[in-house]
Structure 1
Amino acid sequence: MVLSEYTYIFAIGTFFALLEAYNNGANDVANAWATSVSSRSVTYRQAMILCLIFEMTGALAVGARTASTIKNGIIPISAFNDNAGVQLLAFTCASAGAAIWVMWCTRHNAHVSSTYSLVSSIAGVGVATVGARGVQWGWNGGQGLGAIFSGLAMAPVISGCFAATIFLLVKWVVHLRTNPVPWAVWTSPCFFLIAGTICSLSIVYKGSPNLGLSNKPAWFIASVSLGTGFGLFVLAAIFFVPYVHAKVVKKDYTLKLYHIYQGPLLFKRPAPPDADRAKVPNYAVLQHGGEDEKDDSSSEHSVTKVHTDREKSAIKGDDIVTAAVPAKPRTLAEEEGAAALTPHEQYQLLLKKALERHHADLRKKRGPLGWAMRTLHANPMGAGSIHELHNLKALCIRLPAYVVVALLYGLYYDIHKAQVGVLGTPEGRRMDGVYAHATKYPNEVEYLYSFVQIITACTASFAHGANDVGNAVGVWAAMYSAWSTSTAIAAKAPVPLWQIAVTALAICIGFITYGYNIMKVMGNKITYHSPSRGSSMEMGAAITILVFSQYKLPVSTSMCITGATVGVGLCNGTLKAVNWHRVGLLFFSWLMTIPIAGLIGGCLMGLTLNTPSF
């Protein structure tokens, strides 16, 4: 029997549950992929496709295990006294509290944890429903708040240790060699081995509920996991190694990616007589967010030239030379106007000009987004209130364009051009110092690890689907069960597969349409990124997430990737290679999430539960 009188509550709860999943994608997933995009291993559009594939795979294969912790590990089912209506209302308010907080933070470029926002909101709802004594504050067999919040300290540290260990291995085996390129070529299959083993282990270890692997013996788990890893190792040795050997050792600039199918035959492929430099991207180019010139790009080589009125970057080989450029003469009015602005207003003006340049580029594009941007530009809102006739006409014209922009804007967003507010600002001075203490390794070596980083990024996305989808779907599953059965959900009730799929899809949509808002802040703002560093960061975060997920402990993807980023940054050998100001802001936002999300969820529950009714 369906609680028909509570259908409207279930509808509201479903909206907020999916909104919370959407925010999870726009926040946590964007942070996970920001490393790959900022390292230029993948473009934002490529990241979207890979995210959709591996996020869904991780969610459907592994994601159901953490749902029970969110559903009944914090508020005991007995606390609802078998009142399905109260349970439905409780998890609706919990979803609303988490969604409201994360949406506000994402809108204002504040990076918070979606996982801890949801957990804190559930705790607040529990206090409002059954009192503080009814909430599982302790360990509770690994499912209480004590166990979950222990990850606030453990997850970043563990992730940082894993990532630092992997990068130090790369550094000692490859980067510190006199001739590191051959070492990078011949050792690259090892990372394919690690990535394949971790992914397969996450599915078979303790079993995927959806694949019936729960009771398999240890030899089966080990053989399948290692077999998958070594399978990737062999494929990399046969196809990938010959390709990159011809690309970076023999410097064959005529080689195309589709030639990889030739495998060992590429060892015999002669390089052009004039092959004196490998045709690979220059990963050492730093984006400062000033005035952008046109991009010189090809299918495999793209160097973005960036300059401001005061300085520009000149690329010479693997080095970056900063050359002074005479400032463009300004009129007296411009000088007086600039002098009248406060430093904060000047910074905001810089942001506005950069956004205007980006929108001007979008208006030149063909297709739906170019049409939508031109429509918005050609039909601005006029003076007066919204109800003025000319504003109503403009709004009617702009509405279809708004829809197109909301759906497609993220597809064309360039987070490198969005690294604004660097030169001449406190943030810029900090980042210049951070970059100066990071060693720039040869582009040929970094090029190899750009392929490895694609694998590690997919592993990280798979791990996120395994962990965070279960967190997001837990409250929705509780709502659906209470609404559809008219009874409080049992402690071990399974989560329907279709709910996991819908939640995972909402997460992917959030990343695709709004993830750029966090990526433009997180890209290169903690430490210097490069493919070899980024692959180590992502692998360390992925391992940590999977370990926590196997023990049914929801952990923040944001905290793991942040800890991994700091760990790799410290491998430069100095504390100055990390932007501790940004790290401190992130940690502060994580701490503030606990009381604020809890208060929002608890206040909503208290108001709705005690509202007078007829």
Structure 2
Amino acid sequence: MVLSEFTYVFAFGTMFALLEAFNNGANDVANAWATSVSSRSVTYRQAMVLCLVFEMTGALAVGARTASTIKNGIIPIAAFEGNAGVQLLAFACASAGAAIWVMWCTRNSAHVSSTYSLVSSIAGVGVATVGASKVEWGWSSGSGLGAIFAGLCMAPFIAGCFGAIIFSLIKYTVHKRQDPVKWAVWTSPFFFLIAGTVCTLSIVYKGSPNLGLDKKPAWYIASVTLGVGFGLFILSGLFFLPYVHARVIKRDYTLKIWDVLQGPLLFKRPAPADAAQAKVPNYAVVQHDENDDGNLAPPSQAEMLEKPPKSVDADGDAIEVGSDANAHYHALLEEARQKHHAELRNKKGPLGWAMRTLHSNPMGAGSIYELHNLKACLIRLPAYIVIMFTYGLHYDIHKAQVGIEGTPEGKRMSRVYAHAAKYPNETEYLYSFVQVITACTASFAHGANDVGNAVGVWAGMYAAWSTSTTAKSKEPVPLWQIAVMALTICFGFITYGYNIMKVMGNKLTYHSPSRGSSMELGASITILIFSQYKLPVSTSMCITGATVGVGLCNGTWRAVNWQRVGLLFFSWVMTIPIAGLIGGGLMGLALNTPSW
């Protein structure tokens, strides 16, 4: 392969490596923050800022400076027989296979693991390049395909158990008590102790490759983790407990966030004479505006449809059947979309201008090459660019998660929510702080560890292109490559993460801060266990399993949307053959293309 061909292949591979990182942010990182946003512990915009800060800090401060160029040794280095061109092409096709599959899934709001997609694509490339016999299909000390895919079922189940245990502890220690608000306040330092210990262990085992903390003796690791945990326990008792005591028990609505620095002095602070209700957010999943009765009336065209025949579903509810029922369903969805876009057109700023531009310059009749349509396209093009970068910043995640009322999905979610107990906002408020800590830690660990996985194939391509020799199993990664990859991941989350967040969280089960913090802690503990035994695992699968486990703690299986869970599991399983076929097919075509 001549130098110019090397450059073309490297450019091709770089494009798909960055696209794969973009999808990583839009898929995996969005899933990690979906629990916090769904629980209303943070807004989507706050999650964007926190993700950017902690993802970049983890990647640049303590992130891995070496990366596995051939994911977990799936394809032996010797299999390339010193041919740098074939290895470069293999890396490029592997990135392309993973990126194409994950992008399609993200576009269609189907959640899959970026890591599993890349591993599957590499396996397909390995079969096309060196043959199935030379691909590591077995356990191989936790680095083969057998070990990687073993977590497909084990990890969600274990995470579900841990999430259920933690939420049950909260449920019977706080929620089921005679005065749950007081119990929540006085036990809050204990849950900070649990969160601090688990999050510190997460950083030690998942986010400290450059610090080498995971190589320290057991007594050192125990001292650090327990020291941080008990330190957070003491600080929360001195500052956080008096603050929330004044806010939710004394109902001091005049309290400001900086008053937390007064510490125990807040116990002596008198409550306002007119204090009637604690000033805390409303954590209910379903909320309507003052002028919104919660029912979206179909547009006039739907009202004109002939009344379709009725049938009855498994729950005894009447459902529409026939061709008109589908038209009625799509009319409801279009009505909701138009309502959302109307709200955006009233906003100030770039997005409001862009939405007004599209609304004022619709495409006319006929094909796109008609003169009036060409003019409209030229006017609409700048607006499309603005929308691409800013639409996600204004997307209403909560309305999208609940489902359009009157549709089959909306009715299904109403039934799911009906089986979940609703707890006082004052109680839930206490756990929103714990949830933010766990979510920020997850972003830090992802930036320190998973960014290294995302940049690994790109580092291998760069080494093969720049030296014209085959890359080693471990390649040094320049800091600028880590920065570019981390920024691309954050950009994917900020601009496109809403597409996954709208189907996660509240579309699986009912969310609240106490539930959400239990889910994130359960997922973190599972990841720690798998990391200790050097078994690769998907963070997304762990948080999904923990979500289902906590949902079952409502006391009935009906509190979980099993249709959505089944679709998630189906997408995980289908990732393996499809990503493998795409990557392998591209590699096979490239290797066997006629040349002259």
The interval holding the TM-score normalised by the smaller chain is over 0.9
Q: Which residue of structure 2 lines up, in the alignment, with residue 321 of structure 1?
A: none
User: In the TM superposition, what whole-angstrom CA distance separates every residue of 1:266-285 from its partner, at most 9, and x where no partner exists?
Assistant: 11111111222212223235
Q: Which amino acid aligns with 1:88?
A: L
Shift of 1:214: 6.0
Q: How does 1:203-282 map to 2 (within 5 A)?
A: 203-205=203-205, 208-213=208-213, 215-282=215-282
Q: Distance in 2 between matches of 1:206 and 1:248?
A: 36
Q: Which moved more, 1:117-126 or 1:248-257?
A: 248-257
Q: Name the SS for the 1:416 alignment partner.
A: helix
The one of 378, 395, 403 equivalent to 1:396 is 378
Q: Which amino acid aligns with 2:161?
A: C
Are positions 1:406 and 2:388 aligned together? yes
Q: Which residue of structure 1 lines up, in the alignment, with residue 305 of structure 2?
A: 337
Distance 1:364 1:62, change over 3 A: same
Shift of 1:486: 1.5
Distance 1:213 1:307, change over 3 A: closer
Q: Distance in 2 between matches of 1:206 and 1:597?
A: 26
Q: Which residue of structure 1 lines up, in the alignment, with residue 406 of structure 2?
A: 424
The one of 434, 457, 465 equivalent to 2:439 is 457
Q: Which moved more, 1:176-185 or 1:465-474?
A: 465-474
Contact 1:434 1:578 in 2 (8 A): yes
Shift of 1:447: 0.9
Are positions 1:498 and 2:485 aligned together? no
Q: Which residue of structure 2 lines up, in the alignment, with residue 435 of structure 1?
A: 417
The one of 518, 540, 545 equivalent to 1:563 is 545
Shift of 1:446: 0.4
Q: Which residue of structure 1 lines up, in the alignment, with residue 343 of structure 2?
A: 361
Shift of 1:309: 5.7
Q: Which residue of structure 2 lines up, in the alignment, with residue 548 of structure 1?
A: 530
Q: Distance in 2 between matches of 1:11 and 1:197?
A: 44
Shift of 1:127: 0.5
Contact 1:363 1:374 in 2 (8 A): yes
Q: Name the SS for the 1:393 alignment partner.
A: helix
Q: Which residue of structure 2 lines up, in the alignment, with residue 580 of structure 1?
A: 562
Q: Which residue of structure 2 lines up, in the alignment, with residue 107 of structure 1?
A: 107
Q: How does 1:85-124 map to 2 (within 5 A)?
A: 85-124=85-124
Percent of pairs with identical residues:
77
Q: Which amino acid aligns with 1:52?
A: L
Distance 1:421 1:438, change over 3 A: closer
Q: Name the SS for the 2:280 alignment partner.
A: coil
State the TM-score, normalizing by the size of structure 2. 0.92
Q: Which amino acid aligns with 2:372?
A: H
Q: Distance in 1 between matches of 2:65 and 2:201?
A: 15
- Unmatched segments (≥5 aa) in structure 1: 296-304, 311-327
Shift of 1:380: 1.7
Q: Which residue of structure 2 lines up, in the alignment, with residue 318 of structure 1?
A: none
Q: Distance in 2 between matches of 1:88 and 1:224?
A: 42
Distance 1:402 1:549, change over 3 A: farther
Q: Name the SS for the 1:417 alignment partner.
A: helix
Q: Distance in 1 between matches of 2:577 and 2:511?
A: 33
User: In the TM superposition, what whole-angstrom CA distance separates every residue of 1:445-474 from its partner, at most 9, and x where no partner exists?
Assistant: 001111211112112323333443233112
Q: Name the SS for the 2:41 alignment partner.
A: coil
Q: Which residue of structure 1 lines up, in the alignment, with residue 24 of structure 2?
A: 24
- Unmatched segments (≥5 aa) in structure 2: 309-322
Distance 1:65 1:85, change over 3 A: same
Q: How does 1:121-270 map to 2 (within 5 A)?
A: 121-205=121-205, 208-213=208-213, 215-270=215-270
Distance 1:197 1:501, change over 3 A: farther
Q: Which moved more, 1:3-12 or 1:208-217?
A: 208-217
Q: Which amino acid aligns with 2:295?
A: T
User: In the TM superposition, what whole-angstrom CA distance separates every residue of 1:217-250 from its partner, at most 9, and x where no partner exists?
Assistant: 3333222222222222222222211111011111
Distance 1:382 1:207, change over 3 A: closer
Q: Which moved more, 1:40-49 or 1:163-172?
A: 163-172
Q: Which residue of structure 2 lines up, in the alignment, with residue 480 of structure 1?
A: 462
Q: Which residue of structure 2 lines up, in the alignment, with residue 386 of structure 1?
A: 368
Distance 1:561 1:444, change over 3 A: same
Q: Which moved more, 1:477-486 or 1:64-73?
A: 64-73
Q: Distance in 2 between matches of 1:285 and 1:128?
A: 48
Q: Which residue of structure 2 lines up, in the alignment, with residue 307 of structure 1?
A: 294
User: In the TM superposition, what whole-angstrom CA distance separates every residue of 1:322-364 from its partner, at most 9, and x where no partner exists?
Assistant: xxxxxx9x98x76433647622222211111111111111111
Q: Which residue of structure 2 lines up, in the alignment, with residue 313 of structure 1?
A: none
Q: Which amino acid aligns with 1:68?
A: S
Distance 1:207 1:410, change over 3 A: closer
